[in-house]
Chain A
């Protein structure tokens, strides 16, 4: 009997660190009320916990004002809130050639709704120059991932921040694959909106994410409803985060994100990233020597995408699945990225590594892949 090995951490991280699991066991046995919904002790204690998580997020990404951290269910919801809440008039928008559908679909929808026009900028080579080349006089927004979920290719925050400062455009960034892996410093490199999940690099449970807003960013609310404040007003409250957080929050998922960030703080973000980098290098070195294997791995984020001359990505992923190794094949909801890499026809098999993986697990994955390349289908 073999140990199952989870290598789909770019979709959601698993397992969560032991400290997160222990803290959540304890939280589930504790009494919590609905945060910001009454002044009884249980509502207050859960609102205190939410405030702690909010401050932890702000601290992690260098945002001075934690009120401008808006909790969401995931990064997609945060991106929808930023894109639909900020882009309100016809204009030109730039997106990268690596975008996930969480960006492409809302942007495409805005072409139908309000008549925006959009183009992609290339991410190969000099990204800053590529963006400058793609800018038009009527470009008002740049919506870009900070790293591809297919290849790990990085679009540096400092480049986007510089373009924002130079051209006065509004920048919305998707940090789904870098949060918890790379240091994000919005104090040094401000942008208008940063969207991220809590259940990937931050080790929270599925159902949480956040939108971080710049000091002057004022999106129109995406959801309307109860906030626990200014209840006599028929409009959403003016104060943040209440303005953008209608309805009951996914409290336990958000709490788990807080424990995940505590784990990162304790272990050190750089130390965790270095472990992922070491595991990734060890896997890539051996895969590169396997006959018929094509590999895409950039950015040291633990993302390694593969295809093989004899095996389709779906066949490879199923072979690995039957051997207890969990990867993801297909287009990864990122058709633009696959077009960029010319892999849109069959897709790729994506292996995504976390700091919770071990060298022994990577060794076994490598051995199974090696056997697969030798096996008769």
Chain B
């Protein structure tokens, strides 16, 4: 499976995002963003299956959860 990573913010924010997605049955995993690419120090994000991309984007936007696509630019 190919996966996507969204950078979310602190761990609190990333876990909240994961739990928010889980409520609509979207599986994701909290990960630490590689320090070399993290803006401003320690940063966390979510990793999820590429096939869920549009559902993830829609759900995060609905929940007013800010995210930043990691690697591929903004989604």
The answer, among B12, B30, B31, B64, for a CB contact under 8 Å with A242, is B12
Question: Does B40 belong to the interface (CB within 8 Å)?
Answer: yes
List the A side residues contacting B31 at CB < 8 Å: 39
The smallest C-beta distance from A242 to any residue of chain B, in angstroms, reads 4
Cβ–Cβ contact A232 & B10, under 8 A: no
Instruction: Give the CA-CA distance A228 to B43 in the complex, in Å.
Output: 8
Report the count of interface residues on B (CB-CB < 8 A). Answer: 17
A227 and B12 CA atoms in complex are apart in Å by 10
Could you list 7 examples of A-B contacts with CB < 8 Å?
A38-B32, A55-B16, A228-B10, A229-B9, A229-B43, A230-B40, A237-B9
A39 touches B9 (CB 8 A): no
Q: Which residues of B contact A47 (CB under 8 A)?
A: 11-12, 15, 30
Q: Is the CB of A36 within 8 A of B40?
A: no
Report the nearest B residue to A66, measured CB to CB. B16
Which single member of B19, B30, B41 contacts A39 (CB below 8 Å)?
Answer: B30
| Known A39-B30, A55-B19: A50·B12 in contact at CB below 8 Å | yes
Main secondary structure of the interface of A (DSSP, over half): loop
Q: Using Cβ atoms and an 8 Å threshold, which residues of chain A touch B12?
A: 36, 47, 50-51, 54, 67, 229, 239, 241-242
Q: Which residue of A lies closest to B66 (CB)?
A: A239
Alpha-carbon gap, A55 to B10, bound state (A):
17
CA distance A47 to B15 in the complex (A): 7
Chain B 28-75 residues near chain A, CB threshold 8 A: 30-32, 40-44, 64
Residues of chain A at the chain B interface (Cβ within 8 Å)? 35-36, 38-39, 43-44, 47-48, 50-51, 54-55, 65-67, 227-233, 237, 239, 241-242
B13 within 8 A of A: yes
* B43, closest chain A residue (CB): A229
B3 shortest CB reach to chain A, Å: 16
Complex Cα gap A284–B19 (Å): 47
Looking at the complex, which one of B15, B19, B41 makes contact with A230 (CB distance below 8 Å)?
B41
Q: What CA separation (Å) do A368 and B19 show in the bound complex? A: 52
Chain A residues with Cβ below 8 Å from B40 are 230-233
- B32–A39 touching, CB < 8 Å: yes
A-B contact count (CB 8 A): 70
- Decide: B44 and A231 in contact? CB cutoff 8 A: no
Does A233 contact B41, Cβ atoms closer than 8 Å? yes
| CA A2 to CA B16, docked complex, whole Å | 49
Chain B residues, Cβ within 8 Å of A55: 16, 19
- The answer on a CB contact under 8 Å between A230 and B16 is no
Minimum CB distance partner of B30 in chain A: A44
Complex CA gap A241/B16 in Å reads 11
Which residues does chain B contribute within 8 Å of A65, judged by CB atoms? Answer: 64
The 9 closest A-B pairs by CB, nearest first: A229-B10, A231-B41, A232-B41, A39-B32, A36-B11, A242-B10, A230-B40, A51-B15, A231-B42
User: For B42, what are the chain A residues with a Cβ–Cβ distance below 8 Å?
Assistant: 228-231
Q: Which of B10, B15, B19, B32 contacts A239 (CB 8 A)?
A: B10
Q: How near does chain B come to A35, taking the closest CB pair, in angstroms?
A: 7
Report A77 CB to chain B, min CB distance, Å: 19
A44 to B58 alpha-carbon distance, docked (Å): 25
Whole-angstrom CA separation of A239 from B40 in the bound complex: 13
- Flag if B16 contacts A228 (CB, 8 Å): no
Given A48-B15, A67-B16, residue A230 in contact with residue B30 (CB < 8 A): no
Task: List chain B residues, Cβ under 8 A from A43.
Answer: 11
Q: Are A35 and B11 closer than 8 Å at their CB atoms?
A: yes
Q: Please, which residues of chain B bring their CB within 8 A of the CB of A39?
A: 11, 30-32, 44
List 8 additional A-B contacts (Cβ < 8 Å) besides A39-B30, A47-B11, A229-B11: A39-B31, A47-B12, A51-B12, A55-B19, A66-B16, A229-B12, A229-B41, A242-B12
Q: Are B11 and A67 in contact (CB under 8 A)?
A: no
B10 contact from A44, A48, A230, Cβ within 8 A: A230
The smallest beta-carbon distance between B56 and chain A, in angstroms, is 18
- A59 to chain B minimum Cβ distance, whole angstroms, is 12
B29 to chain A, nearest CB (A): 9
